[in-house]
Amino acid sequence: MNSRKIAVVTGGSSGLGSALIDALKNDYFVVNISRSAATNADANIAADLTVEAGRLNAVNEIKNKFGRIDLLVNNAGIGAYGTFEELAMEEIRRLFEIDLFAPIEMTRILMPELQKTSGTVINIASMAAKIHVPAMGGYCAVKAAFAMFSETLRVEAGIKGVRVITVYPGRVNTGFSSRAIKYREVPNTPDNSGVSPHDFAASVIKTLKNPRRKRLFFPWWYRPGAWLVKLLLEEYYNRKNIQYWKLNDK
We find the least distance from the C-beta atom of residue 98 to ligand NAP, in angstroms, to be 5
Among residues 206 and 239, whose Cβ is nearest to ligand NAP? 206
Q: Which lies closer to ligand NAP via its Cβ, residue 162 or residue 181?
A: 181
Run of H or E including 242? helix 234-244
Which segments of 73-215 does DSSP mark as H helices, in order? 89-96, 102-117, 137-159, 197-209
Residue 242's CB: how many other CB atoms inside 10 A? Answer: 14
* Dihedral pair phi/psi, residue 223, rounded to 5°: -70, -55
In the bound state with ligand NAP, the residue whose beta carbon lies nearer, of 49 and 135, is: 49
Give the Cα separation of 71 and 201 in Å (integer). 15
Sites of contact with ligand NAP (CB under 6 A): 11-17, 34-36, 47-50, 75-78, 98, 124, 126, 169, 171-172, 174-176, 179, 190
User: Which amino acid is located at 114 in the chain?
Assistant: L
Smallest distance, ligand NAP to C-beta of residue 72, A: 14
Kindly provide the b/e burial profile for residues 13-33, where b requires at least 16 CB atoms within 10 angstroms of the residue's own CB. bbbbbbbbbbbbeeebbbbbb
Tell the smallest beta-carbon distance from residue 243 to ligand NAP (Å): 22
Q: Which residues are catalytic?
A: 139
Nearest approach in angstroms of CB 189 to ligand NAP is: 9
How far apart are the two ends of the chain, measured CA to CA in Å? 58
Closer CB to ligand NAP, residue 50 or residue 207?
50
Nearer to ligand NAP, 35 or 108 (CB): 35
Is 215:148 a contact under the CB 8 Å cutoff?
no
Neighbours of 86 (CB within 10 A): 16
DSSP characters over 60-91 = HHHHHHHS--SEEEE-----EES-TTTS-HHH
* Residue 155: CB minimum distance to ligand NAP, A: 22
